[in-house]
Amino acid sequence: MSQLIKTPAEIAKIRQAGQIVGSVLADLAALVICGARPHDLDQYARETIRQRGGQPAFIGYQGYPATLCISVNNAVVHGLPTAKQFVDGDLVGIDAGAIVDGWYADAAITLGVGQISVKDQHLLTTTQEALQAGIVRARAGRRLGDVQAAIQRVIEAAGLGIIRDLTGHGIGRQLHEEPQIPNYGRAGSGLLLQKGLVICLEPMVTLGSPEIVLDQDRWTIRTLDGSKGAQFEHTILITDDEAEILTPLRAWPEPESLVRG
């Protein structure tokens, strides 16, 4: 466990990377409109992450060819950015990562394009609430199973499907580190959370079956039954009190604000 705990200096680098990720996602949220193209969002993110002092975390990771994962409708995660325009009613998941001086941060959001259905809004709201429930339970002295169980309760109470074959994860020098964090579990079990641990919580939820299949492009993961899915993710820091969200979705500060600190 001790090797998973980050020092204050290391946390500062992850926080910088997280601020870049959160600000880019905040920018992209305004760009997810009818007629927009995923590959244009990807190009924007690639340039902007670098302009803000980071490096894109996903390009080249296990051969991945893009800056973002953009997953539309029944694509839950790892969708390749294409030239296909968004249309009214689409659900668009955007997963982004950045590196600062060798330290990683990672976050994701799912957005509706134009007018979406009541059931699709229920999916988005539930997935966000599940993430928040996990964050609230994540603090030093609790068990990882407490976090997982909190996420699971929200999703199951809403009658939605939990993807069990994909997990959250630790993060730091690598994009994916231990521990693996399923979105279901038993309260009181699992790893004892300690101050200085940095993890990514990322509930992945479906309107139908939780079974998934790998697309022919060898990257995109879709629901087996074609139902829509959603993903929300934050990189968080375990503290003695409330967990700190290291990837807040905030506008990038102007240079004067950075100077004032």
Q: Could you report the per-residue pLDDT of 202-255, keeping only the tens digit for each?
A: 999 999 999 999 999 999 999 999 999 999 999 999 999 999 999 999 999 865
Q: Could you report the per-residue pLDDT of 110-162, keeping only the tens digit for each?
A: 999 999 999 999 999 999 999 999 999 999 999 999 999 999 999 999 999 99
Q: How many CB atoms lie within 10 A of CB 141?
A: 11
Q: How many CB atoms lie within 10 A of CB 133?
A: 20
Residue 87 has pLDDT above 70, yes or no: yes
Residue 2 has pLDDT above 80, yes or no: no
Quick check: bond before 182 cis, omega within 30? no
Indicate the number of domains in the chain: 1
pLDDT at 89: 98
**Residue type at 110 in one-letter notation:** T
pLDDT at 253: 84
d(CA 248, CA 259): 19
pLDDT at 261: 36
Q: Are strands 221-223 and 229-231 parallel, antiparallel or unpaired?
A: unpaired
**Residue type at 36 in one-letter notation:** A
Q: Are strands 91-100 and 69-72 parallel, antiparallel or unpaired?
A: antiparallel
d(CA 162, CA 206): 7
d(CA 136, CA 154): 13
- The boundaries of the domain holding residue 31 are 2-260
Residue 77 has pLDDT above 60, yes or no: yes
Which of residues 229 and 258 earns the better pLDDT score? 229
**Dihedral (Cα; 64, 202, 73, 126), 10-degree rounding:** -170
- Is 61 strand, coil or helix? helix
CA distances from residue 173 to 36, 55, 196, 211 in whole angstroms, order as listed:
34, 13, 14, 31
Residue 78 has pLDDT above 60, yes or no: yes
Mean pLDDT estimate for the chain: 96
The single-letter DSSP state of residue 3 is G
| Strand ranges across the sheet with 75-77 | 75-77, 221-223, 212-214
d(CA 93, CA 27): 14
Domain CATH for 221: 3.90.230.10
pLDDT at 258: 43
**pLDDT > 90: percent of the chain:** 95
Q: Could you report the per-residue pLDDT of 171-208, keeping only the tens digit for each?
A: 999 999 999 999 999 999 999 999 999 999 999 999 99
Q: How many CB atoms lie within 10 A of CB 155?
A: 25
Residue 257 has pLDDT above 60, yes or no: no
**Residue 84 confidence class, pLDDT cut points 50, 70, 90:** very high
Residue 15 has pLDDT above 50, yes or no: yes
Q: What is the CA radius of gyration of the chain?
A: 17
- Please list, in sequence order, all residues whose beta carbon lies within 8 angstroms of the beta carbon of residue 240, skipping any fewer than 6 positions away: 139, 140, 141, 195
Q: Which DSSP helix (H) or strand (E) runs through 38?
A: helix 38-51
Q: What six digits make up the tokens of 206? A: 């479906």
Q: What residue spans of 52-103 are helical by DSSP H?
A: none
pLDDT at 1: 62
Q: Which of 92, 91, 70, 93 is nearest to 80 (CA)?
A: 70
